[in-house]
Structure 1
């Protein structure tokens, strides 16, 4: 009866393979269409290396090796898109979350993000696809002379796919920030402990609290409070990065 046992094992393996195949489907044939659509939306060249669909543990699509821009100002290692299955038969499809693992941005990309993420105006029509949340893991920003990261971020989006609030945490847990969009500006609150800023590898803040307003070009900190090297620092500061990083401020150091 060994032959029967072997046949049953072989049939079980074939059945398992047949059941598994539909859950891991390559969608590479759709890459040119997707590249064209995203490129038209962002007005930037877009390249995608691979797309796959998986049904387990929940239905989702993974997209690998994405670059945006002629100089690859945006690089995404792996993007996982998880839809709300029940919304696929509704007028507006809902993406429950987009998870991005390994993201690299340049200063030029930072300047363009508000245009990419937000609708053109408040009267823009209801989108056919709505994204509820974006999650970033292992992200980095290259400002040219300085680098920030790696950090993780979470963004909740409204019904028009505009960011409602954003939280950022460095992977070492030393810096936490909350960003709330306000029309063309961003309200920022941040706190840090034992943190070294990217502009100086020798500066160490024992404690730091910041509150201010940022635009794609600069950031104005109306409240700066810090403890470092046994002393305190209080005041205001301003930074610009459109034409290289420029810093100035009015600080009381004691």
Structure 2
């Protein structure tokens, strides 16, 4: 027992001494050593505003206002902390754990250079990981973040990956050095898009390569409302100009929950398949999805238009306006979709449902007002009914107006007339 007590007392005395030394030794005596160590580690000039020891919740060496390359727009850290832990003391000069960066701001080019800047020299201690708290990337006048993330290092001391996520464990984001670029992987589960309309993905996977001017998203795969979404895209940022462009393909998506994201009342059910191209542009990434540009071709099978009855207007022999809901069943509903900002157009639309069919176009204006024209026909044996329907009102409460219904009558047949003689076959 006595043999064990002496080493423990010695360790406690050493820790107490380490804790008391900063109280009597000014930071000016070790600041130059800190600066030299950081400059050697980061292969570039470093400035420290002030430094010292914090004791709560545990002894930590803290550096404030750390600036790299003599330019705060290149890289700046409000607070850099290194714990004075037993592990770091026992492995002094060989390995450091528990480094934390708070409120870091980095330019894209500095972030791209991190694998080289954090490359270890033979006489430097190995880094295990660095925790980034509330850190951001500066892109011109825009700021991406802040986010919490972790930098992890391989056994040889090289930077292995950056990993980030959200508090609900719905997002998992990985960035790994790959040549002069970074391999980017984003996995989302049970995730609702935080911009535009709240489309909900059961699972979403994005893979691509990132460079200083953007990301080439080579693979997009998602499970969405019982169907799948695939595609690719390019995200670019240059001279305060943000651009996102790409293509998407959908197959087997349940149209009802998808379309109810845009309107809970007027929507469509059935199975949706289609292909689209999209372009978004803005001077700030927060505004990137404010002005969409989308062109798509779609096909919905075995479904129904809800709150949009196209058959009832055919029953009226006189001009009339119908401000009512109702439904229109169909076997196929095809067309083109064009979205420009807040204006949505459905063009070259064709709806077929047994003996009923309709063709037309519809515009949903920024104030959700409707403007469209539809030619509807109902055929049954010798009975044929056709009418032109004008769509108005608003998306939530459509108004369908008709002209006089065209009801072609079958031509009379003279049963007493002698039928013409059949043609004589050539001998």
> What TM-score do you get using the length of structure 1 for normalisation?
0.70
Deviation at 1:41, TM superposition (A): 5.1
User: 8 Å contact 1:150–1:171 — kept in the other structure?
Assistant: no
Aligned mates of 1:213, 1:44 — CA distance in 2: 27
Deviations 1:117-155 (A, max 9, x none): 235xxxxx5342111111111111122254321211112
Aligned mates of 2:129, 2:29 — CA distance in 1: 27
Structure 2 match to 1:52: 52
User: 8 Å contact 1:94–1:131 — kept in the other structure?
Assistant: yes
User: 8 Å contact 2:213–2:237 — kept in the other structure?
Assistant: yes
Aligned mates of 2:109, 2:164 — CA distance in 1: 20
Q: Say which SS state the counterpart of residue 140 (structure 2) adopts.
A: coil
Deviation at 1:74, TM superposition (A): 1.4
User: 8 Å contact 1:23–1:55 — kept in the other structure?
Assistant: no
**Counterparts in 2 of 1:242 and 1:36: CA distance versus 1, 3 Å:** farther
Which structure is richer in relative contact order (CA contacts within 8 A, separation 6 or more)?
1
Aligned mates of 2:169, 2:211 — CA distance in 1: 25
2:153 to 153, 157, 160: 157
Q: Which runs of 5+ in 1 are unaligned?
A: 1-17, 120-124
Structure 2 match to 1:10: none
Deviation at 1:216, TM superposition (A): 4.1
Structure 2 match to 1:138: 134
Aligned mates of 2:160, 2:229 — CA distance in 1: 32
2:20 to 14, 19, 22: 22
1:178 paired to 2:174: yes
Deviation at 1:190, TM superposition (A): 0.7
Deviation at 1:173, TM superposition (A): 6.1
Q: Which runs of 5+ in 2 are unaligned?
A: 1-15, 251-273, 275-427
> What TM-score do you get using the length of structure 2 for normalisation?
0.45
Within 5 Å, give how 1:29-178 maps onto structure 2: 29-39=29-39, 42=42, 44-54=44-54, 59-72=59-72, 73-82=74-83, 84-88=88-92, 92-118=93-119, 126-144=122-140, 146-170=142-166, 175-178=171-174
Relative to its length, the structure with more helix (as a share) is 1
Aligned residues: 225
User: 8 Å contact 2:42–2:118 — kept in the other structure?
Assistant: no
User: 8 Å contact 1:95–1:129 — kept in the other structure?
Assistant: yes
Deviation at 1:203, TM superposition (A): 6.5
Deviations 1:193-229 (A, max 9, x none): 2343xxxx64755334212233444422221135789
Q: Say which SS state the counterpart of residue 152 (structure 1) adopts.
A: strand
Aligned mates of 1:111, 1:96 — CA distance in 2: 23
Structure 1 match to 2:216: 220
**Counterparts in 2 of 1:203 and 1:33: CA distance versus 1, 3 Å:** farther
**Counterparts in 2 of 1:76 and 1:62: CA distance versus 1, 3 Å:** same
Structure number with greater Rg is 2
Aligned mates of 1:245, 1:115 — CA distance in 2: 27
Deviations 1:80-116 (A, max 9, x none): 113622112xxx4210121112111223422332331
